[in-house]
Amino acid sequence: MARFTIRTGATALAVAAVVGLAGCSSPVAAENASSSDGAPGTGGTAIGFIMVGPRDDYGYNQAVYEASQILADEHPDLEILTAENVPEDDSAVTTMEQMIDRGAKIIFATSYGHLDAAQQVAEDHPDVVVVQQGNTIAGDILPNSGTYFGTVYEPMYLAGIAAGAATESGKLGYVYAFPIPQTIANINAFERGAQTVNPGVETITVSTSSWCDPAAQREAANSLLSQGVDVITQHQDCTKTVIDATEAAGAHTVGYHADASELAPEGWLTGAVWDWAPLYSDIVATILDGKFTGSEFNANYRVGYKTGTNPFVLAGYGPSVSAETQAAIEDAQAFLATDAGSPFVGPVLDQDGAVKVADGVTPDYAEIDAMDYFVQGVVGDLAN
């Protein structure tokens, strides 16, 4: 029994510690709560970026990081807060809250899976603008939130032309993470681009179930190569392992996110490269002007070749891409910039031959963003 009293004493101590902490934390809370009366996103001292991976991954997150640093030059009075390796779960909320506590009134949540957390933070902080990169908000959009992305499937369509011209086996490989709509659109556009120069070509898909799992990438690349695939591209955050394995096997690489031609001096064809800076710049300028609510960014904003400022551009060509192929790609790019242009001008058939886009129809960005099927010529099953 003596011991029990000691334990009770300790409980009291623990409770006191907890209460003490609560006590001393409340004044800070009050201070933070005194926000400006201005429009959402104005009056802050910092801009926050959360990234799902490391900032130098030769890929998705590196592109985000580099563009965020350009904002630092444009807005020397604003601190740029970056957080790497932020998981796509509830802990992202905590990280964003900490950014807000450090004066951020603008937050970029840059991974597809950050949307739930971004929405929650936007709801809890009407004075903070939270924009999310790549996902789509279903239903009503809060006055202080939005999503943005480019039509990355457009450059992938162009890269598909280079791949279709390069392949000798007629088999292209696609290593991807998850069948999210932007990935599905990329894979479909790549296959359709290749078909324009090589009608019977196939794109074989392998999912790694992770944005970056190098071991799974290596096995995925090897299993594709052993099937006779001679051009490999990918939708992964970190891209080095797949490019290395492809180059070592003497196959061709179509890059993603960044120009990695130095990793594949022989096999590099081209790729989709990201340049977020102009778009980030526009978004931040709109927010700081107090004009975010009701603007084009207070929505599911998409930009492509038609508007001229697609953040995704085609990388430089590798040594094996012929002048003829380059000309075909330039023609296709000019076509994409026209009103009727799209990688998905009907007829588009799915893997079972069902018509998904009718003959002659040009689907809009929203329809392409909602793709949930692979087109004919793609080998693989969505649900894996």
Partner 1 sequence: MSLIIDVLTGGVRGGTSILYAALGETVSQRSGVINLGTEGGMLGGALTAYIIAAETGNPWLGVLGGGIVGAALALVHALLVLWRGANQFASGLMVLFLALGLTSLFGASYVGRTITPFTTWAIPVLSDIPVLGPVLFDQDPLVYLSYLAVPAAWFVLFRTRAGLLLRTAGERSDALTVHGADVRVVRTWAVGAGGFLAGVGGAHLSIAYTNTWFENMVAGRGFIAVALVILAAWGPVKVMAGAYLFGAALALGPALQARGIPVNQFLLHVIPFVLTLVVLAALGRRSSNAAPAELQRVFENGAPAT
Partner 2 sequence: MTTLLDPTPSLVEPGERPDRRAAALRATGRWAAAIGGALVIFSALLLLRGANPLEALGDMWVSTFLRGRSLAEILNVMAPITLAALAVLVPARAGLTNVGGEGQLMLGAIAAGGTALALDQQLPGPLVLVLALVAGGVAGAAWAGVAAILRLRFQVDEAVSTLLLNFIALDLLLFLIYQPWRESAAGQPTTRELADAAKMPVITGTVINVGIIVALAATVVVILVLGRTRWGFRLSVVGGNAEAARRAGMNVAGLVISALIVGGLLAGLAGAIQFTGIEYKLRAGFGLQIGYLGFLASWLARHRPLPVLLASFVLAALAIAGDSLQLDAQLPAASVNILTALILAAVLGWTTVKARRA
Best CA proximity match to 104, nearest among 73, 124, 135, 82: 82
Instruction: Provide the token pair at 180.
Output: 């999210």
- Residue ranges in 125-239 assigned as alpha helix (H): 153-166, 181-197, 214-225
Q: Is 75 in the site for partner 1 (CB under 8 A)?
A: no
Report the residue number, 220 or 284, with the smaller CB distance to partner 1.
Answer: 220
Residue 380 gets the label, from left (phi > 0), alpha (psi -120 to 50) or beta, of left
Contacts of 320 (CB under 8 A, 6+ apart): 166, 252, 267, 269
Q: Out of 8, 36, 85, 307, which residue is the one contacting partner 1 (CB under 8 A)?
A: 85
- For the CA atoms of the chain, what is the radius of gyration? 24
Q: Out of 75, 240, 291, 306, which residue is the one contacting partner 1 (CB under 8 A)?
A: 240
**Beta carbon of residue 187, minimum distance to partner 1 (angstroms, whole number):** 13
Report the residue number, 144 or 208, with the smaller CB distance to partner 1.
Answer: 208
Best CA proximity match to 114, nearest among 35, 233, 211: 211
Report the residue number, 96 or 332, with the smaller CB distance to partner 2.
Answer: 96
Place of tokens 């929203």: 366
Q: Tell me if residue 100 falls in helix, strand or coil.
A: helix
Stretch touching partner 1 by CB under 8 A, among 75-83, 101-109, 241-249, 281-289: 241-249
Report the residue number, 29 or 323, with the smaller CB distance to partner 2.
Answer: 29
**Beta carbon of residue 183, minimum distance to partner 2 (angstroms, whole number):** 9
Report the residue number, 44 or 179, with the smaller CB distance to partner 1.
Answer: 179
d(CA 82, CA 313): 25
**Beta carbon of residue 181, minimum distance to partner 2 (angstroms, whole number):** 5
Q: Is 349 in the site for partner 1 (CB under 8 A)?
A: no
Residues 197-216 that bind partner 1 (CB under 8 A): 204-209, 212-216
Contact 113, 52 (CB under 8 A): yes
**Among positive and negative, which fits the CA dihedral 185, 188, 190, 196?**
negative
d(CA 98, CA 79): 14
Report the residue number, 37 or 262, with the smaller CB distance to partner 1.
Answer: 262
Q: Tell me if residue 142 falls in helix, strand or coil.
A: coil
Query: Among partner 1, partner 2, none, what does residue 212 contact (CB within 5–8 Å per kind)?
Result: partner 1
Contact 86, 299 (CB under 8 A): no
Q: Beta strands of 162-284 (E only): which ranges?
A: 171-176, 202-207, 231-235, 252-257, 268-274
Query: Among partner 1, partner 2, none, what does residue 168 contact (CB within 5–8 Å per kind)?
Result: none
Report the residue number, 323 or 383, with the smaller CB distance to partner 2.
Answer: 383
Contact 118, 130 (CB under 8 A): yes
Interface ranges with partner 2 (CB under 8 A): 2-4, 6-7, 10-11, 14, 18, 21-22, 24-26, 28-30, 32-33, 54, 81, 83-85, 87-90, 94-95, 97-99, 101-102, 112-113, 116, 178-181, 184, 209-210, 370-372, 382-384
Contacts of 304 (CB under 8 A, 6+ apart): 150, 151, 154, 310, 336, 365
Contact 113, 88 (CB under 8 A): yes
**Beta carbon of residue 298, minimum distance to partner 2 (angstroms, whole number):** 23
Query: Among partner 2, partner 1, none, what does residue 34 contact (CB within 5–8 Å per kind)?
Result: none
Residues that bind partner 1 (CB under 8 A): 54, 56-58, 62, 84-85, 173, 204-209, 212-220, 222-224, 226-227, 229, 238, 240-241, 244, 248, 262-263, 379-381, 383-384
